[in-house]
A and B are shown apart, each in its own frame.
Chain A
Amino acid sequence: MHRLLKSLAVVCTIATAPSLAQAQTTLRAVMQSDLKILDPIWTGATITQHHGYLIYDTLFALDANGDVQPQMVEKYDESADKLTYVFTLRDGLLWHDGAAVTAEDCIASIKRWSARDPLGQKLAGFIETMTADSDRTFTIKLRSQTGHLLSGLAKPAANVPFMMPKRIAETDPTKQITEYVGSGPFVFKSDEWKPGNKTVYVKFDKYKPRAEPPSGLAGGKIPYLDRVEWLAVTDKMSALNALLQGEIDYVEGVPHDYIQLLQDSPGIVLFLRKKLSNQIVLRPNHLHKPFDNPKARQALWYALNQKDFLDAVVGNPNYYAVCKSYFICGTALASPVGMEDLLTSDAAKARALLKESGYDGAPIVLMQATDTLMVNAPPVAKALLEKAGFNVDMQAMDWQTQVARRQRKVPPDAGGWSLSLSSFDSAEIMDPMVTAMMNASCDKGLAGWPCDSGIEKLRDDFARATTLPEKQKIVEAIQIREREIVTHVPLGQWYSAGAYRKNVDGLVDGLALGFWNIKKKN
């Protein structure tokens, strides 16, 4: 009898197993690249940020309008002198290992983040003390006022201040973490992670979402999917074919050349990620001739125009926007001040400035990365700059070579460079503090090494600014100063396209795709 019951139990288990499996919803996605590094504080790689948004949570987050909203924080109190902030965490927040999220965890996480992130480092200069008052409450005391404590803690991109358990957050900031425990809506399955093949996340059943509807990176992050699988498909055509066949459900970063193919396909939804727009950027090397002279750099403003670059890189005007501003058009800090008469391809004016700079016609080295979306931008730059009187030596190389060569300070004719073209997503260029390209602190800045105390002072003023009008005024002043200094030239913005199957619903357009709120009908 006992054996019979046992057999029946086995049969029942087998019989019910398929139906349980079918009840599971799995979303298969092909992201912009394969996940290689798992520590979002250690690297600024975009794919690692996406990974971070699935498994970790943040104290604050930006909503769809770009406004800062509490996320893990239930409430916060600001002292009248704006020097003391008391944060109270939401009740019931848990780490994936079951332990409660504490104030000490958050303090350790902020410390590790601010040791790595440039904005975090700037904020650390304002912070006098961080103390845990209880399990759920902690206080940050500032040395002087800044309007960026909350927006810093809500920083949406490299590097995002994700919260981690204290034991993990105490890892040396220069070393990668080896344990991936968050308090976010999904749990990382390290046992199923196969680099170059598949990355798996499963729903965190004990995740406590906020009550508000999702908005950008803020609001309720309800994980409806049981399982999210990122498949590493390097070939975009293969990824799109798999999407058309229903083998996968979502493709991030559809190349603009393939948009027509998807538009004509029933069963596929193509969408523009307007929040995640990108800006094409030209960077001159301030160390060497001719761009060590401001007049030669200013000639770039007149030699170039945005539309030619956008046509070459994107093509379809539905997917780009001419935007004469350092900050993404449509955001609070976008402004045309100081840039109205620039970027019009006025070759005569560019030639005059070039002559004033004393340019001797020596070749300038323009790097062309042949394996990125930007491949068509350097030939446009070459043509426009030559019209303006530059002698351009365009050198083709792969992106990784360009990345390494960009760090070389030697003269262009000795293996260095003069001009570099790349693209930054909006989260990386939100304001003068976040925009690493705008750092004009000489050797401490990014490759290109601009040096200007005027811009640095304005950036410091921006760090101290507490109201939006104040910040807008400083940004305008920066743009007027940039006209002279030219840390970099914004060459227009373009929108990233994504595609998913029609049985998928609920994608939230934000600065990152977190996979919360997404439902899939089987």
Chain B
Amino acid sequence: MFGYILQRLLSTIPVVILVAIFVFVLLRLAPGDPAAVIAGDNANAEQIALIRTKLGLDQPIYTQFFLWIGHLIQGDFGESFFFKKSVGELIASRIEPTIALSLATITLAVIIAVPLGVLAAYKHGTAIDKFVMGFSVLGFSVPIFVVGYLLIYVFAIKLNLLPVQGYQRIGDGVGGFLLRLVLPTVTLSVAYVALIARMTRTSVLDVMGEDYVRTARAKGQVERIVLFKHALKNAAVPIVTVIGLGIAGLIGGVVVTESVYSIPGVGRLTVDAVLARDYPTIQAIILMFSLVYVFINLAVDLVYRIFDPRIRY
């Protein structure tokens, strides 16, 4: 097991290097010029060229790349073109809201979706099943920003129960932190509840006809134990996969949700950085997200064994 983890961790190195090269080259090939953006509308070519020189953008791409890699090896992500702050510092200041939102979302989604999926499988073909599946289709189909605005309209504007926007750091009070997290979490959870519930229903349905389920029932086990201990445990591997992919895929949803609720997280930083062509910030964020993706995949692989001891590494 330890050898497997070490091997997987070492295998992330070439992945990260490839991602770094790919992102760097892609950004330089993409249209847009940070110097022109910084200079503003009234700047002439001379002023823009001066800024390009100051930012080092007049250097050949390979020189820029090796300079960046050199700093990266020393743990230095560079300085944001726009904020004149170190990118590491910038990301660190924006990470808490994103982590809080992602964790809350996936926790809420799992708590709601897994029992819902199990229930739908158990009540297969009934109105309950159709309702859960109908909700799943709706959850997939409605864009996140529509859900967001709808929830704001009902719970913030009409009922005046929750704030419209903003984020409060946990250090500034747990009450305010939770209050401001409710609507964004629910907004972002809708799609994940739909996804996980659907996968849970399918997986549980697949194992419901297996011999061990019939045996458990024949032994007189109560239905709750049959469903959650025998059926769900054996159906867990694909569900865990979906949850893992869901966590990795949260990035996209977080970007929209953070914008709608004005949460100063990494998602919004990504959008701002892309729009401003802030190369050092974009490069660092993509590298960070690829590392997160690799580690989540590793964690998912390790969790498989908890549910299926036959899996060996």
Contact = CB atoms under 8 A, between A and B. Distances in A.
Given A237-B149, A444-B44, A196 B164 contact: no
Contacts of B304: none
Interface stretch (A204-212, A242-250, A503-511): A242-250
Contact of B44 (A38, A45, A398, A445): A445
Interface stretch (B6-14, B129-137, B189-197, B260-268): B260-268
Contact of B42 (A197, A237, A406, A436): A436
Contact of A36 (B31, B82, B264): B82
B260 A238 contact: yes
Most B Cβ at <10 Å: residue of A44, A178, A422: A44
B180 to A, nearest CB: 11
Contact of B33 (A175, A237, A403): A403
Nearest to A434: B42
B165 A242 contact: yes
Contacts of B109: none
Given A195-B90, A238-B261, A400-B276, A405 B31 contact: yes
Contacts of A175: 54
A196 B96 CA distance: 14
A175 B83 CA distance: 14
Contacts of B56: none
Given A36-B82, A404-B31, A407-B36, A241 B44 contact: no
Interface in A370-402: 371, 397-398, 400-401
A247 B36 contact: no
B42 A398 contact: no
Contact of A238 (B93, B164, B277): B164
B259 A235 contact: yes
Contacts of A424: 41
B269 interface: yes
Interface in B161-188: 163-167
A397 B31 contact: yes
A13 interface: no
A174 B262 CA distance: 34
Nearest to B160: A245
B32 interface: yes
Most A Cβ at <10 Å: residue of B44, B90, B94, B156: B44
A436 B48 CA distance: 15
A129 B164 CA distance: 56
Given A44-B39, A400-B37, A407-B36, A195 B45 contact: no
B40 A400 contact: no
Report the contact-size class of chain B (Cβ under 8 Å from the partner): 35 or more
Contacts of B152: 238, 241
B187 to A, nearest CB: 12
Nearest to B273: A196
B93 A234 contact: no
A336 interface: no
Contacts, number: 134
Contact of B85 (A195, A197, A234): A195
Nearest to A158: B42
B224 interface: no
Contact of B31 (A45, A401, A445): A401
Interface in B30-58: 31-33, 36-46, 48, 50, 54
Contacts of B48: 407
Contact of B46 (A235, A244, A444): A444
A143 interface: no
Contact of A196 (B36, B166, B268, B277): B268
Nearest to B265: A196
Given A196-B268, A404-B31, A446-B42, A238 B262 contact: yes
A106 interface: no
Contacts of A195: 82-83, 85, 90
A439 B44 CA distance: 10
Contacts of A371: 275
A232 interface: yes
B45 to A, nearest CB: 6
A517 interface: no
A353 interface: no
Contacts of A44: 39-43
A241 B157 contact: yes
A43 B43 CA distance: 9
Contacts of B262: 231-235, 238-239, 242
Contacts of B84: 37-38, 176, 178
B76 interface: no
Nearest to A116: B47
Nearest to B54: A174
A34 B149 contact: no
Nearest to B85: A195
Nearest to B50: A174
Interface string B76-95: 00000011110000100110
Nearest to B49: A407
A196 B258 CA distance: 11
B116 to A, nearest CB: 30
B5 interface: no
A303 to B, nearest CB: 25
B44 A403 contact: no
Contacts of A233: 165, 262
B83 A241 contact: no
B25 interface: no
Nearest to A117: B42
B271 interface: yes
B223 interface: no
Most B Cβ at <10 Å: residue of A34, A176, A198, A404: A404
A198 B160 CA distance: 24
A403 B37 contact: yes
A197 B264 contact: yes
B271 A234 contact: yes
Interface string A430-451: 0000001001000111110000
Contacts of B206: none
Contacts of B276: 36, 400
Most A Cβ at <10 Å: residue of B54, B262, B276: B262
Given A234-B262, A234-B271, A247 B42 contact: no
Contacts of A178: 84
B42 A37 contact: no
A444 B32 CA distance: 21
A241 B42 contact: no
Q: What 7 A-B pairs are tightest by C-beta distance, nearest first?
A: A197-B264, A44-B40, A404-B33, A401-B31, A36-B82, A436-B42, A233-B262
5 contacts: A36-B83, A194-B264, A241-B157, A242-B262, A244-B157
Interface of B: 31-33, 36-46, 48, 50, 54, 82-85, 90, 93-94, 149, 152, 156-157, 160, 163-167, 259-262, 264, 268-269, 271-272, 275-277
Given A197-B264, A407-B33, A443-B45, 15 more contacts: A44-B39, A175-B54, A176-B84, A195-B82, A195-B85, A232-B264, A237-B260, A245-B160, A245-B164, A400-B32, A400-B277, A406-B36, A422-B41, A439-B44, A446-B43
